[in-house]
Structure 1
Amino acid sequence: MTTPRSPRSPLARRIGHLVGAYGLLALTALLFLAFSLALPDTFPTLDNISAVLSNQSIPAILALGAMIPIVTRKFDLSIGYGLGLAHVMTMQLIVNEAWSWPLACLVVILGGTVFGIFNGVVVEFARIDSFIATLGTGSILYALTGWITNGARIVPGPHGLPAAFTDIYDARFLGLPVPAFYVLALTAVLWLLLERLPLGRYLYVIGSNPRTADLVGIPTRRYVIYAFAGSGLVVGIAGVLLAAQQRIGNPSVGLDYLLPAFVGALLGSTAIRPGRPNALGTLVAVTVLAIGLAGIGQFGAQFWVTPLFNGVTLLIAVGMAGYAARRQLRLRRTEPPRTPHEMSKAAS
């Protein structure tokens, strides 16, 4: 009696994998094409593309930062508060303390990394759920922001900010805004770390099964702290860029970026490598969101449409991420036994 094989043929499974991995990328192209046909005079222009790349660079960087702890099945809800404090501290050090802008940026980025380590220590050693822990630490950051600014904006003097500092956001390279290249560089670095180095493999094992990680000798606590440290470092970088973009210190601006960051990170886990957070998928997800927001904005949508779009997309992203993870698990469990020919071919 032969063992019954899965009702799905190898071709069907292959098609299903391609749709799951690259469906979001195809949606990106379709959205761009649809808006270009509907708005031919404004949407497919270089000016519009440059504006989208510039405006969405900081949300994209923050989404990549939020993705890192999600790899370990942890969540850093302090990133919005951290972004607000980082950009306010950058302005405080440059404007009010008269620090050189490179030193101020370096201190802010290092400070973000240190706070990320603190988040990891609280989560792992105090054994507090990451949602609760980072919500609490984020509130502390928000309090620090208010204490530093006294609730008021930090405005540069009559001479403004150093041109070299604002150029880190305003400059162009190959005709495109330079922040877009920061996003590409960060995506490449995270892809290398997560997909090609032992660090990434350890983080994925911890995220899929912490008990297994402990049994095989992976120091779980240490690597979760590494993940939060990476998130904090990225938040510090985003804060510096936000200061260069806004050119004032606004104590309440950071929270506006929290929801889009998690939408991009969670939706990204349904693309390229379905079922697990990954840098390329996050980049694709952020691109979809950017095109969608730019398109509905050019159609003259009301101000409340943006938070509605982000909220609905977050719900869809969580649902799709859960479905993709369950699908991957189901495929592993129901994978048909290999024939001797398939086994010998795989071994060769």
Structure 2
Amino acid sequence: MQTITQADAGTPETVGVRSRASRSPGWRSLTYRYGIVGVWVLEIAVFAVLVPDTFLTAANITSLLSSQAALLVLALALVPTLTTGEIDLSIAGTMTVSATIAAQLNAVDGVNLWLSILAGLCAAAVVGLVNALLAVRVGVESIIVTLGMGTLLIGLSVWFSNSLTISGVSPEISAVLNSQLLRVNTAFYLALALGIGMWFVYRHTVFGRAAVFIGKSAEVARLSGLPVTRIKVLSFVATSLLAGLAGVIVIGIAGGLQPTSLQSLLLPAFAAAFLGSAIIDPGTSNPLGTVIAVLFLATGISGLVLLGMDTWIRDVFYGAAVVVAVTVSRLAMVASRKAAAP
């Protein structure tokens, strides 16, 4: 630590040191960290004015929140791999195969519900291990491996279900996930609790801080003695397990599954995860930012639909969110590096 004595306290050099040391992040840092939150508040206000009879009604708000549980878990599933600097494009396929196995075993083959769910989650874990083997051990680019894996899993799901819609999943899980508190289903609260739990892991545990460090610079982390390979493998498995859990939530809420219907959640999940990396801790994928991003995007879609926009607006909105999020995150990283420079 640099010590400034009384003799040199008035020199230009020490004045500059004290100025930099006392300089607070200020409004620019707050803008980078919470700008999306401000836009979200403005978004709510605008739609409240444009569609006052429907937007801020209890029915619309509770419906909006209750419908986001599966997407929220799927977006959170991206956090482990994105945090370590990897990309997993197979999450929608993993979600689908896990849901298909669980639904098929329970509704068609008569297997116990919880054993069926366990089988689906085990399949998701295997997908994560295969992705990790190819991306981390073999060294193939994760974006290529997981893109092919996602397509493969969708095909296997359609084959496993005989291209049929599966219905008749045991109502035990539906009774839990569709029960309501303040008119919002329990599934949403469980997804929210998952996000808070993940925030604690990445903010307050050794594993979480190491994963963030690896995402900043894997080589520096390796030279520092961190088990980079092991943490990346665990991150791939965690991503796949959470994607599988999202599939379980889908069949639990709906009581069945159309295997080809879940692929459409891939872009919204990435939009939320990337946008989340521009909130709270810009430049780093983080769970709380992802939760806020999911609700921000859902609010925008809901408002536009109530205004009478066609269904194509969803793709436009989610696509624009990805572009804006990556740009803002990049600008925030550049700004933080300049601020940290001597």
Q: TM-score, normalised by structure 1?
A: 0.90
Measured in 2, the distance between the counterparts of 1:107 and 1:165 equals 15
Q: Quote the residue 1:261 is aligned against.
A: 269
Q: Quote the residue 2:216 is aligned against.
A: 208
Q: Quote the residue 1:308 is aligned against.
A: 316
Which deviates the most, 257-266 or 321-330?
A: 321-330
| Structure 2 residue 61 is matched with structure 1 residue 49 | yes
Once the two structures are superposed, residues 213-241 of structure 1 have per-residue CA deviations (whole angstroms, 9 ceiling, x without a partner) of: 11111111100011111111111110011
Measured in 2, the distance between the counterparts of 1:26 and 1:240 equals 34
RMSD in angstroms over aligned alpha carbons?
2.0
Once the two structures are superposed, residues 27-78 of structure 1 have per-residue CA deviations (whole angstroms, 9 ceiling, x without a partner) of: 2222112212222221111111111011122111111111220001100000
8 Å CA contact 1:63–1:264 kept in 2: the answer is: yes
Q: 1:186 aligns with which of 183, 194, 203?
A: 194
8 Å CA contact 2:129–2:233 kept in 1: the answer is: yes
Q: Quote the residue 1:339 is aligned against.
A: none
Once the two structures are superposed, residues 83-133 of structure 1 have per-residue CA deviations (whole angstroms, 9 ceiling, x without a partner) of: 121221121011111012122122212321232122112111110011001
8 Å CA contact 1:168–1:241 kept in 2: the answer is: no
Measured in 2, the distance between the counterparts of 1:266 and 1:32 equals 21
Once the two structures are superposed, residues 201-220 of structure 1 have per-residue CA deviations (whole angstroms, 9 ceiling, x without a partner) of: 11011111111111111111
Which deviates the most, 13-22 or 218-227?
A: 13-22
- 1:291 aligned partner, one-letter code: T
- Relative to structure 1, is the Cα distance of residues 174 and 123 closer, same or farther in structure 2, using a 3 angstrom cutoff? same
| Structure 2 residue 123 is matched with structure 1 residue 82 | no
Q: Quote the residue 2:121 is aligned against.
A: 109
8 Å CA contact 1:94–1:100 kept in 2: the answer is: yes
8 Å CA contact 1:86–1:240 kept in 2: the answer is: yes
Q: Quote the residue 2:148 is aligned against.
A: 136
Q: Secondary structure, in 3 states, of the residue corresponding to 1:296? A: helix
Measured in 2, the distance between the counterparts of 1:153 and 1:200 equals 39
8 Å CA contact 1:53–1:179 kept in 2: the answer is: no
Question: What does 1:15-54 correspond to in 2, within 5 Å?
Answer: 15-54=27-66
8 Å CA contact 1:120–1:224 kept in 2: the answer is: yes
| Structure 2 residue 84 is matched with structure 1 residue 63 | no
Question: What does 1:281-292 correspond to in 2, within 5 Å?
Answer: 281-292=289-300
Once the two structures are superposed, residues 132-153 of structure 1 have per-residue CA deviations (whole angstroms, 9 ceiling, x without a partner) of: 0111221221221122023222
Measured in 2, the distance between the counterparts of 1:295 and 1:73 equals 34
Q: Secondary structure, in 3 states, of the residue corresponding to 1:258? A: helix
Question: What does 1:230-249 correspond to in 2, within 5 Å?
Answer: 230-249=238-257
Q: Quote the residue 1:276 is aligned against.
A: 284
Measured in 1, the distance between the counterparts of 2:337 and 2:23 equals 19
- Relative to structure 1, is the Cα distance of residues 175 and 152 closer, same or farther in structure 2, using a 3 angstrom cutoff? closer
Measured in 2, the distance between the counterparts of 1:273 and 1:261 equals 19
Measured in 2, the distance between the counterparts of 1:315 and 1:150 equals 38
Residue 10 of structure 1 deviates from its aligned partner by: 6.2
Q: Secondary structure, in 3 states, of the residue corresponding to 1:179? A: helix
Identity of aligned residues (%): 28
Q: Secondary structure, in 3 states, of the residue corresponding to 2:125? A: helix
Which deviates the most, 303-312 or 247-256?
A: 247-256
Q: Quote the residue 1:343 is aligned against.
A: none
Point out where structure 1 has 5 or more consecutive residues left out of the alignment.
335-348
- 1:195 aligned partner, one-letter code: R
Which deviates the most, 146-155 or 288-297?
A: 146-155
Q: TM-score, normalised by structure 2?
A: 0.91
- 2:144 aligned partner, one-letter code: I
- Structure 1 runs (4+) greater than 3 angstroms displaced: 3-13
Measured in 1, the distance between the counterparts of 2:87 and 2:228 equals 16
8 Å CA contact 1:82–1:254 kept in 2: the answer is: no
Point out where structure 2 has 5 or more consecutive residues left out of the alignment.
1-10
Which deviates the most, 74-83 or 85-94?
A: 85-94
- Relative to structure 1, is the Cα distance of residues 177 and 141 closer, same or farther in structure 2, using a 3 angstrom cutoff? same
